[in-house]
Amino acid sequence: MKIKAVRFAKLKVPLVTPFKTALREVSFIEDLVVLIDTECGQIGYGSAASTPVITGDTHQGMIAIIQQFIAPKLVGQEIENINQLTHIIQSTVVGNSSAKAALELAVYDLWGKLYQAPLYKLLGGGKSELKTDITISVDNIDKMLRDCQRAVEQGFDVLKIKIGNNLNQDIERVKAIHAGFAAKTQLRLDVNQGWNAKQTVFALQQLEKAGVVLELVEQPVKSSDIQGLKYITERVNTPIMADESAFSPKQVIQLLELGAVDIINIKLMKTGGLSRAIEIANITAQYQAECMIGCMLEGSIAVAGAAHLASAKAQQISKIDLDGPALGQYDPVQGGVEFSGPQICLSDAPGLGIESITGLELITNGVWPA
């Protein structure tokens, strides 16, 4: 199975409710879809969201990088040589992790189709049913409580609470949500780099004294503040998780060697795809550290790849935060992974299992070779 061409398309899905964090607010899932055509007629699918404030990637930037540098090296290559293909994707340019992730997803999709097996089985097996948390966007307390209630009614029993835009308000938000929902759910906090180290220690000590039990706190400080993460971890009982501080295997080793965090959040858009995500999962196993598998605000193509990884690496990946498709008003992807409330079900169709995609808008000038 030989790569013939690389194409691009846009895919846009409105959200049920606006997605608000300490860094941004959006109302749509907007994916760049990468399609890899083969000479035998098979198509591999991958996708990535535009996240300039997190990974630095935009849709136009991803198209340019892939067209000018990576696609010319992939066309003509055999899909069976999966390690060679991922090496080309990772080594041709530095950075550009979301562009690399979209390409790797499409390549791995074709790899599964080549061997007529679902991706999670090729990556090591695992269970076909997973369960995700759901994100509650930062807002006024009443709105967040209503969103929590709606999530519980939909069957979610793990809530990831977005905070980080006002320390004192954040503490009150968490107390209110804990009072209303701790008996029914587990609570995770995502601060999105909104506090500094001393603020985090103050807030968590206040919450701990009030009896608030949290499963974890995600990335409370700036991504570069590794010493800040260590400072926090040494002073609180609540587990601390790195997200934006953990893009690469090297960064993960540094965090774990320093004892700076308890948990690593793996996201394909940060690692540059499945190959390095697998490497990070293996590293955390050596350090006996937990992993979460997460996603940016991308749709079900990319999140399907993350779900296959979560199944294959279930011994390392103990926490799942793959609610991106659940936040959309509908899922435009038919076949493959089914997202239904908190339930994620992987099919045994080859690769990612995608059969068709509704609303895909091909970018006519986005083909290599032209």
Q: Tens place of pLDDT for every residue, the chain, 370 residues?
A: 999 999 999 999 999 888 877 677 888 999 999 999 999 999 999 999 998 888 889 999 999 999 999 999 999 999 999 999 999 999 999 999 999 999 999 999 999 999 999 999 999 988 999 999 999 999 999 999 999 999 999 999 999 999 998 999 999 999 999 999 999 999 999 999 999 999 999 999 999 999 999 999 999 999 999 999 999 999 999 999 999 999 999 999 999 999 999 999 999 999 999 999 999 999 999 999 999 999 988 999 999 999 999 999 999 999 999 999 988 999 999 998 999 999 999 999 999 999 999 999 999 877 888 6
- Whether residue 13 is found in the same domain as residue 152: no
Per DSSP, the three-state class of 240 is: strand
Predicted local confidence at residue 365, as pLDDT: 79
The structural domain count of the chain equals 2
Q: Residue 64 is part of a domain; what is its CATH number?
A: 3.30.390.10
Q: How far apart are CA 255 and CA 56, in angstroms?
A: 22
Q: Specify whether the CB–CB gap between 321 and 359 falls below 8 A.
A: no
Measure the N-to-C terminal CA separation of the chain; round to a whole number of Å.
Answer: 21
Residue type, 238: T
Tokens of 36: 């890899």
pTM for the model stands at 0.95
Q: How far apart are CA 121 and CA 138, in angstroms?
A: 37
Q: How far apart are CA 278 and CA 269, in angstroms?
A: 13
Predicted local confidence at residue 101, as pLDDT: 98
- Whether residue 197 is found in the same domain as residue 312: yes
Q: Residue 325 is part of a domain; what is its CATH number?
A: 3.20.20.120
- Whether residue 314 is found in the same domain as residue 219: yes
Q: Which residues pair with 51 in a beta bridge?
A: 57
- Whether residue 222 is found in the same domain as residue 83: no
Q: How far apart are CA 271 and CA 161, in angstroms?
A: 24
- Whether residue 301 is found in the same domain as residue 248: yes
Q: Is the peptide bond before 369 cis (omega within 30 degrees of 0)?
A: yes
Angle among Cα 99, 58, 28 to the nearest 5 degrees reads 105
- Whether residue 101 is found in the same domain as residue 204: no
Range of the domain at 43: 3-116+358-368
Q: Considering 20, 100, 267, 313, which one is annotated as catalytic?
A: 267
- Whether residue 330 is found in the same domain as residue 364: no
To the query of whether residue 162 is one of the catalytic residues in this protein, the response is: yes
Q: Considering 121, 162, 313, 319, which one is annotated as catalytic?
A: 162
Residue with token string 């699918």:
45
- Whether residue 61 is found in the same domain as residue 158: no
Q: Specify whether the CB–CB gap between 264 and 255 falls below 8 A.
A: yes
- Whether residue 223 is found in the same domain as residue 308: yes
CB atoms within 10 A of CB 34: 29
- Whether residue 338 is found in the same domain as residue 195: yes
- Whether residue 196 is found in the same domain as residue 239: yes
Q: Specify whether the CB–CB gap between 201 and 233 falls below 8 A.
A: no
- Whether residue 105 is found in the same domain as residue 132: no
Predicted local confidence at residue 22, as pLDDT: 67
Phi, psi of 11 (to 5 degrees): -145, 125
